[in-house]
Amino acid sequence: MVLLILFDIKGRRIEHKNLHKVNETQFGFILVIAAALVWSTYGLFVKAIDCSPLLIVFSRYFFGFTGLLGFTIARHRFGWVRSSLPYTRMILLPAFLTGFSWLLYTYALNHTLIANAAFLTYTAPVFPIIFAIFIIKEKLEPKSAIALGLALLGALAIMGYNTTFFSEAELKGDIYALLAGITGGLIISYVKKIPAALPGFIVNLILSGLICVAFLPFSLTAGGFGGWRNFGLLALMGLLHQAVGTTLFYTGLRRIKAQHSAILTYIDPLVATILAAVVLAEKITIGSTIGGLLIIASGVIIVLEKRTTPALEKVKL
């Protein structure tokens, strides 16, 4: 009888522990999807702001850093400073890659359509899946390979209809976007190496501050804001995309695998294409429709995971 009671208690604890892991994983999916939805509006902001790409990127991180700093001080005072300083060196490389990737993407948006730039940049998930094997020793899952294949086919379908490869201006933007994708592919893998003891919003705060320092000398030579309208849009973009969106992403990334987060962020270019069609009257073709469905299917494969699968038990929280 005693053994049965102990077995029952132990079984409930194991079940509760597994359920907690499942809930944490699903919460991570939600956070990454939310971040992708926020980021999907970035192209609209860039098209609406009449400033140089350097100033746009600097402002994104400056206003994002300011908002995060105010929130952190109000919530945690200055107790986070001492505990986070040892991790600053680990964030240097991700900060450099992040700033450079968004700068390339911003240049791309100034030379080509939002759909072109978004989907070329989102070749990035090809690289984390490869890098994750060597950098953070993740095992490539067959399910991730299938979902990735669907997502890439979707991107190719959309680009096949939307990209004019013989246009010199668009080709230049396409090259910028592809370089942004290659650079961005490294970011997820390196951020994943940062210890989970450091909260996502602190990682974002340190990263934003480092990028502000790096971009400040260049932004001073990039011209002024060009009026209060631009200033307001830049401030809103920084708070929305960096303070909120990136914090959601880093927090969610701690709960799911790099492979999964990379594929889920394909929601960003899908929604960006729809927004560009609605707001800027960019055409949605049959290729865009087919590609979008393939991208949605890839995300569903990742999110709809049975609770009894061993993969859930291996997720590092």
Q: pLDDT per residue over 172-182, tens digit each?
A: 887 888 889 87
Contacts 24+ apart (CB under 8 A), 3-12: none
Q: Which amino acid is at 115?
A: A
Question: Residue 238: inside a domain, yes or no?
Answer: yes
Taking 50 as the threshold, does the pLDDT of residue 22 lie above it? yes
Is residue 243 within 8 A of residue 67, CB to CB? The reply is: yes
**DSSP 8-state symbol, 86:** G
Q: What is the mean pLDDT of residues 118-146?
A: 73
pLDDT value at residue 204: 84
Total domains in the chain come to 1
Question: Residue 317: inside a domain, yes or no?
Answer: no
Q: Select the more confidently predicted residue: 136 or 34.
A: 34
Q: What is the mean pLDDT of residues 8-34?
A: 65
Taking 70 as the threshold, does the pLDDT of residue 295 lie above it? yes
Is residue 256 within 8 A of residue 28, CB to CB? The reply is: yes
Tell me the C-alpha distance between 75 and 223, whole Å: 35
Question: Residue 218: inside a domain, yes or no?
Answer: yes
Q: Which residue in 161, 179, 36, 165 sits closest to 120, CA to CA?
A: 179
Question: Residue 43: inside a domain, yes or no?
Answer: yes
Longest Cα separation, the chain: 79
Tell me the C-alpha distance between 302 and 267, whole Å: 13
Question: Residue 154: inside a domain, yes or no?
Answer: yes
pLDDT value at residue 101: 92
Nearby residues of 71 by Cβ (< 8 Å), 6 or more positions away: 201, 243
pLDDT value at residue 269: 87
Taking 90 as the threshold, does the pLDDT of residue 130 lie above it? no
pLDDT value at residue 80: 67
Question: Residue 212: inside a domain, yes or no?
Answer: yes
Provide the domain limits for residue 62: 28-304
Question: Residue 1: inside a domain, yes or no?
Answer: no
Q: What is the mean pLDDT of residues 105-119?
A: 87
Q: What is the mean pLDDT of residues 216-230?
A: 83
Q: Which residue in 206, 198, 191, 188 sits closest to 68, CA to CA?
A: 206
pLDDT value at residue 33: 93
Question: Residue 6: inside a domain, yes or no?
Answer: no
Q: How far is CA 22 from the centre of its chain?
A: 22
